[in-house]
Amino acid sequence: MKFYSLLFSILFAINFTIAQDFQKDSIQLKSIYNQVLNEGNVYENLRSLCKDVGHRLSGSPGAAKAVNWGERLLSKYDLDSVWLQELMVPHWVRGDVERLDFISGNKIYKTNCTALGGSVGTNSSVLSGQVVEIHSWKEMEELGNEKISGKLVFLNRPMNPSYITTFHAYGSCVDQRHQGAAEAAKYGAIGVIVRSMTLKFDNNPHTGSMGYKEGIEKIPAVAVSTVDAHNLSEMLKLNPQLVAKMKLNCQTLPDVLSYNVIGEIRGSEFPEKVIVVGGHLDSWDIGEGAHDDGAGVVQSIEVMNLFKKLNIRPKHTVRCILYMNEENGNRGGKTYASFVKNKGEEHIMAIESDRGGFSPRGFSVDGSDSQLAVIQTFENLFEPYQLHLFKKGYGGVDIGPLRDGKICLIGLVPDSQRYFDFHHAPTDVFENVNKRELELGSAALSSIIYLIDKYGFKSTGFNQ
């Protein structure tokens, strides 16, 4: 009997500890949420990044300004150290001429177009050719040289609205933007016109990165709005001989020196073990990069601010990284990962916010089953904040190169329905970000970092 009463006491004590921790952690999370919702700087910091700095494509004066902005801001929060990490970045410039007109008989239809990032220009001349509409790679192959050579290829496969997570619709469509020019050039096309990557039917063209292939001619690539794509398709039905005229003066200049911006709070127990939080500082050169990824940048900076304000002294070193060059090269993410490897630093977790400043819904975990299991034990703590997605998935572009079979990579998952309305478009501006949704994302990041810092990935027995 004595044995059973002892066992009971132990079990009771364990339960009590768990309950006490659950309560303590609930209170801590509540104070994080209260702080950011009542006194957070995250929205004002986003305003400043969007309006005082503006867009900031790698290699541009805006990007250099953003580096100074990030360093200055992190330095205000009394962190243990703030530094810049050098890297060379590509330098593509849009130029000041972007024109695409459709000519049908004596009618001229002017489009809203934007060159794709990395595209070559039209050599100061006007590129003119018949348009051939294509919806799949198979169709392109079937038309072949005979029907494509000397023409402008119009890639008009829309994002599939049946996908509930819009990233899936984007993922299964964006190959048109990335590879369209290289694929069409194989068949002798002289240029490509790509339907914008959005589910919205409007007049805004969306830019984004594209690539060429070694040994295949580089031809210009331009995106048109979904309205223009629809209209072009309709015009082609009436007149298959329709001609498009394109003029672009974008070009790629030599690489430029730039920086990742890094700030850290040293760990009190395990300073040699690092937890990373970040977003990317660069943005496309149309709009203000508010959702992509100003939101992730200011949310990550706010994590550091919250830890200091609430006197949370983390056990592990918490490092905030504002990565450069996610959009057209990911050299910031790669440079940071090789720095970590060269130094032999141990990173237990890296989290990224790069899916817009919308209401957070949970976390997608690129890690082991046991790491996911630990994260899932925190689920009830997030219930009051309406976060419910705790499942395996993608972390993020910037943190991807850190993958080493041990680190847990995590992506903050916000509601995705409106992201591609603004993504890489002139409408990705501060005014289109909601203050509370942005703040909630920052509180979610801070909370998961607080919990993983406290419990690590060892089995915690924590299952309240």
In 219-269 the beta strands, taken as DSSP E runs, fall at 221-224, 243-248, 251-265
Write the binding mask 6 to 45 for Zn ion: x where contact by CB under 5 A, - elsewhere.
----------------------------------------
Kindly state the smallest distance separating residue 354's Cβ from Zn ion, in Å.
4
Kindly state the smallest distance separating residue 355's Cβ from Zn ion, in Å.
8
Kindly state the smallest distance separating residue 327's Cβ from Zn ion, in Å.
7
Among 133, 228, 264, 292, binds Zn ion (CB under 5 A): 292
* Among 331, 318, 299, residue whose Cα is nearest residue 73: 299
Smaller CB distance to Zn ion: residue 292 or 366? 292
**How many chain residues are in contact with Zn ion, going by CB under 5 A?**
3
Smaller CB distance to Zn ion: residue 220 or 357? 357
359 neighbors 440 (Cβ within 8 angstroms): yes
CB count within 10 Å of CB 386 equals 12
Position 133 contacts Zn ion (CB under 5 A): no
Rounded Cα gap, residues 263 and 303, in angstroms: 11
Position 288 contacts Zn ion (CB under 5 A): no
Smaller CB distance to Zn ion: residue 25 or 282? 282
Rounded Cα gap, residues 450 and 41, in angstroms: 19
Write the binding mask 295 to 334 for Zn ion: x where contact by CB under 5 A, - elsewhere.
----------------------------------------
Which H helix or E strand runs over 81? strand 81-93
Rounded Cα gap, residues 164 and 48, in angstroms: 33
Please report how many Cα atoms fall inside a 13 Å half-sphere around the Cα of residue 76, on the Cβ side. 11
Rounded Cα gap, residues 260 and 88, in angstroms: 10
Helix axes 175-186, 137-148, angle to 10 degrees: 30
Look up residue 432 and give its DSSP letter. Answer: G
Binding residues for Zn ion restricted to 354-373, rule: CB under 5 A = 354
Window contacting Zn ion (CB under 5 A); options: 13-21, 72-80, 285-293, 418-426: 285-293
Kindly state the smallest distance separating residue 53's Cβ from Zn ion, in Å.
16
Window contacting Zn ion (CB under 5 A); options: 184-192, 244-252, 291-299, 412-420: 291-299
Window contacting Zn ion (CB under 5 A); options: 45-53, 300-308, 348-356, 408-416: 348-356
Among 133, 288, 293, 352, binds Zn ion (CB under 5 A): 293
CB count within 10 Å of CB 170 equals 21
Residue ranges in contact with Zn ion by CB under 5 A: 292-293, 354
